Amino acid sequence: MTSPTPEFEAMEAVAQGLLASWDDYANQATITTKGKSTPQVVISLGLALHVHRLARPAFDMLRQGLALEAVPTLRAMFEAAVTAHWVVQVPDAANGFALKDRGRRRALLDGMHDMGLDFFGKDEHREAIAELDEITIRDGGASARFEDICKDLNPPQMFLYSQYRLLSQMTHPSDLLMDSYFQEIDRPPGLARLTPPKQPPRNGLAALGLASLIWAGHAVEYSNPTRERRRALREAATTLAISPTLTATSSAMARQSKAARQRATAKKAARSSRRV
């Protein structure tokens, strides 16, 4: 997104077109797994559905001049879209996603137990942990930290992660967020409240929202045998002068190849030991 950012109205028109074609696609009940594993398809489709669900309120807020209020929603869209592309592009990503999710669920169960809730005592906690441990997930896999996700993808991770950090700074408590609500003045205490708050440029935020729609939509196209939306996604990407895809880096693919060789060696060793 180094080219001049288009006007908001132009980007919104493209976004609305993508949302309309997505509705037609998403209403199809059949889920295909052509060329991808079931976990890759389910995770990427679920994230893409979420991105498109969030897009309407995000662009509604931007249209109303509520750019600051739209940032948390746009951040969620951006993170989900990049993650969806990562899952289908990096072979060991779905496994890393599942491992991270299981860790988060365990932490949630532990936290609920520590709260001393009447309905979630020692026995309920033990049973819930046991059910969680029954889920078979292969050890290893890509790191699902978002910074590492960005490192696994092209364009260079600094572009993706820096955009994410900027959205995060305007979402979480930060000095940048405080700058939206105060301005410097010459008399004590040196600050005055801004009412309404200062709004960030909506064109740049709309560009991130549109990019999220493009990347999330294209992630699903990898397992779509008809690929009827691919042309529309490519045309939308030209609006922002970006690639419609986020490809796996050579280092990510090399890591996957190394892991596959290690698994093959371990299986061979296990078979040999059983023969002895």
* Res 272: pLDDT: 66
CA atoms within 13 A on the CB side of 128: 17
Number of compact structural domains in the chain: 1
CA distance 97 to 145: 9
172 located within any domain: no
* Res 211: pLDDT: 97
pLDDT digit string (tens) for the chain, length 276 residues: 556 788 999 999 999 999 999 988 877 756 677 778 888 999 999 999 999 999 999 999 999 999 999 999 999 999 999 999 999 998 889 988 988 888 899 999 999 999 998 899 999 999 999 998 887 777 666 888 999 999 999 876 578 999 999 999 999 999 999 999 999 999 999 999 999 999 999 999 999 999 999 999 999 987 776 777 889 999 999 999 999 999 999 888 888 777 667 666 666 666 666 665
179 located within any domain: no
* Res 200: pLDDT: 94
Total-model pTM: 0.88
* Res 165: pLDDT: 95
What residues form DSSP beta bridges with 154?
247
* Res 64: pLDDT: 97
68 located within any domain: yes
Are the CB atoms for 18 and 214 separated by under 8 Å?
yes
CA distance 271 to 2: 54
Residue 65 DSSP SS3:
coil
Helix axes 230-240 and 202-221, enclosed angle (nearest 10): 150
Residues with Cβ within 8 Å of 135's Cβ and at least 6 positions away in sequence, in order, are 98, 102
Contacts 24+ apart (CB under 8 A), 142-149: 142/86, 142/90, 142/92, 142/93, 142/95, 142/96, 142/252, 142/255, 143/96, 144/83, 144/93, 144/96, 144/97, 144/99, 144/100, 145/100, 146/79, 146/82, 146/83, 149/82, 149/83, 149/86, 149/93
206 located within any domain: yes
108 located within any domain: no
160 located within any domain: no
Name the E strands within the chain: 153-154, 182-184, 191-193, 247-248
55 located within any domain: yes
CA 33 to chain centre: 20
Task: Please list the alpha-helical segments (H only) found in 170-249.
Answer: 175-178, 202-221, 230-240
190 located within any domain: no
Q: Which of 200, 19, 22 is CA-nearest to residue 11?
A: 19
Domain extent, residue 22, equals: 8-92+142-153+200-270
Query: Helix, strand, coil shares of the chain as percentages rounded to 5?
Result: 65, 5, 30
Residue 247 DSSP SS3:
strand
Angle at 181 between CA 178 and CA 185, to 5 degrees: 100
Task: Please give the span between the terminal C-alpha atoms of the chain, in angstroms, as a whole number.
Answer: 60
CA distance 236 to 140: 36
* Res 266: pLDDT: 62
Query: Which residue's entry shows tokens 């290690």?
Result: 262
